[in-house]
Structure 1
Amino acid sequence: MEILDVLIIGAGPIGLNCAMEAEKNGLSYVIIEKGTIVNSLYNYPLYMRFFSTADKLEIAEIPFITTSPKPGRQDALEYYQGIARQKALKIKLYEKVINITKNELFEIQTSKAKYLAKNVIIATGFYDIPKLLNVPGEHLPKVKHYYTEPYPYANQKIVVIGASNSAVDAALETYRKGADVTMIIKGSEISNSVKYWVKPDIENRIAEGSIKAYFNAEMQEIKDSAVIFKDDRGSIHEIENDFVLAMTGYLPDFDFLKNSGIHLKNENLVPMYNPETMETNIENLYLAGVVCGGKDTHLWFIENSRIHANLIVKHILGQ
């Protein structure tokens, strides 16, 4: 069996960047990906636009050419998947990593094969596991933790839970396709992280009453044809409802990290790693990208974690 210099878990932008950095420095590698190339981006809302400009999403100094000031989901898919094709990157798709064990080498068991590697990079992002509401009825078919497009919700009574970009986009898009939209927001205002060109839009729609919003509110129960929530005065409301879009955020796969031997710190479950090398408490096991932030998934993103590939490969070569 071939012994790889590097096995990379995750074919997102940072995983691709790690692969190109490894190849540039003569290291053998393979990427293992449980879905398609940049699988998280593929599962983003169809009409989503990035906060960042194209140049800040570039990897490996390959220009990201787009006519839009803010690239959208399709632009990003074309860019990153185009790089994978052009560079003929070694990627195994629709293959899930089951576990990682280490003796002298790492042994990586997947759903399809077994691999041996001297080094492993985990670049799995955070989009796989929704943050749950933990209320009765959350697992009803009407509850969606992922939003793609507004058309299925035309003329329906929609509850959107959350106040960040995904919730605001879902609320505005479904409202404009004829949905009756109510937002249930745990905090006291729309998040300051919402895209600056979108935030006034949602605030104005709420102010004029086109979109109903309850702040400092909390879901209590989801029924087949209604939802129950508590407002900021402690009053309980039950309203008719067809769909719930629970845009409450997502988390890394902490069980996978723990089972790989990585220590998780404090209440945010931040993985232990050296920020100068990205090496975890397990020798030659590295982290790259959003997964480094634990529950704080807004800490790392494409534009500020592109450097991780260089740090990791530099450390591997220096050993």
Structure 2
Amino acid sequence: MEVFDVLIIGGGPIGINCALESEKRGLKYLVLEKGTVANSIYHYPLYMTFFSSADRLELGDIPFITTAVKPGRRDALEYYQGIARRKKLNIHTYEKVETVDKVEEFFRVSSLKADYVTRNVVIATGFYDIPNLMNIEGEELSKVSHYYREPYGYAGKEVLVVGASNSAVDVALETYRSGARVTMVVRGDEFSPSVKYWVRPDIENRVKEGSIKVYFNASVKSISQDFVTLQQMSGTLVDVPNDFVFAMTGYVPDFRFLESVGIALDPLTKIPSYDPLTMETNVHGIYLAGVVCGGRDTHLWFIENSRDHAAKIISALGEKRNSKN
């Protein structure tokens, strides 16, 4: 059976960067991606704009060319998928990894399609697939979504947006401008400091003029077919007429998968155990890259500040290979 030096789980920007670094080092690699290349970005809202400038999203020495001051979803897909095509990276798309098992000095990585043998594994799976649930009555209703694509289906409807960060603000503004009657629910007394600086004045002015209503210091208690019940900090309950709910409450990595391969997680923060110099976990031969390193704090790592994870990992693998020769 073919044996790889490294198998990379996840074909997003950081997984792609690991593949590029592997090629530079002459390592035999394979990337397994459960969806398309840059799958999380593919599922972002259609008109999403990145906070980072294009140069901060670049991989290796490959320029990210765009006329936009801040690149959007389509720009990023063209860039990252273009790298995979032009470099002919060894990526299997639509092949989800099910298990990773240690077999003597190797790992057997199994998908629904095949089994692979590798000396090392890199997990670069991101966090966009598992919503951070509110765990309230009615969250399972079809009118409730933790994901958002575009605003046009909500014109003339009562839309409730839960959250205070960029995703919630973007949903509120886009659906409002497409004719929805928008209400927001924010746990604290203001929007998140991380809201994009060019968007903050827009949302604050829409709230000030009354175009978008916001309940600060409040949370969603329950959801029914026609109403959403909010609970204010004072304990007061408020019923808000409603057709659709966007719970933009964030996402978390697949902690169950990490634990299944033997990676130790902090009981509270869920931050995995790894060496920041090499990115190797407590399981010898398994490495982490990208936002998956942050545990519950998914704002800790993002593309621009985790691009160097690939170089750290592949450098460590190169030294490990040299030491055995």
TM-score band by shorter chain is over 0.9
Match of 1:122 in 2: 123
Q: Which runs of 5+ in 2 are unaligned?
A: 321-325
Distance of 1:207 and 1:61 partners within structure 2: 45
Distance of 2:209 and 2:36 partners within structure 1: 42
Match of 1:205 in 2: 206
Amino acid at match of 2:86: Q
Aligned positions of 1:60-209 closer than 5 A: 60-103=60-103, 104-209=105-210
Distance of 2:188 and 2:100 partners within structure 1: 39
Q: Which runs of 5+ in 1 are unaligned?
A: none
Give the match's secondary structure for 2:5. strand
Distance of 2:30 and 2:202 partners within structure 1: 44
Match of 1:56 in 2: 56
Match of 2:323 in 1: none
Amino acid at match of 2:301: W
Q: Does 1:214 align with 2:215?
A: yes
Give the match's secondary structure for 1:308. helix
Residue-by-residue CA offset, 1:170-203 (whole Å, 9 max, x unaligned): 0000000110000011111100000000011111
Amino acid at match of 1:21: E
TM-score (norm 1): 0.99
Q: Does 1:283 align with 2:291?
A: no
Distance of 1:232 and 1:268 partners within structure 2: 26
Distance of 2:189 and 2:115 partners within structure 1: 50
Distance of 1:268 and 1:148 partners within structure 2: 30
Give the match's secondary structure for 1:230. strand
Match of 2:257 in 1: 256
Distance of 1:187 and 1:125 partners within structure 2: 27
Residue-by-residue CA offset, 1:95-145 (whole Å, 9 max, x unaligned): 111111112200111111100000000000010100001000101000010
Distance of 2:7 and 2:286 partners within structure 1: 10
Give the match's secondary structure for 1:271. coil
Match of 1:10 in 2: 10
Q: Does 1:46 align with 2:46?
A: yes
Distance of 1:153 and 1:267 partners within structure 2: 38
Aligned positions of 1:287-302 closer than 5 A: 287-302=288-303
Distance of 2:132 and 2:157 partners within structure 1: 24
Q: CA deviation at 1:266?
A: 4.0
Give the match's secondary structure for 2:297. coil
Moved more, 7-16 or 230-239: 230-239
Distance of 1:75 and 1:127 partners within structure 2: 19
Match of 2:245 in 1: 244
Distance of 2:240 and 2:188 partners within structure 1: 20
Distance of 2:122 and 2:80 partners within structure 1: 19
Residue-by-residue CA offset, 1:34-84 (whole Å, 9 max, x unaligned): 000000000000000000000000001100000001000000000000000
Q: CA deviation at 1:233?
A: 2.0
Amino acid at match of 1:116: V
Amino acid at match of 1:12: G
Residue-by-residue CA offset, 1:227-266 (whole Å, 9 max, x unaligned): 1111132110112100000000000000000001000014
Distance of 1:154 and 1:37 partners within structure 2: 32
Q: Does 1:224 align with 2:220?
A: no
Distance of 1:143 and 1:158 partners within structure 2: 10
Give the match's secondary structure for 2:120. strand
Distance of 2:91 and 2:113 partners within structure 1: 13
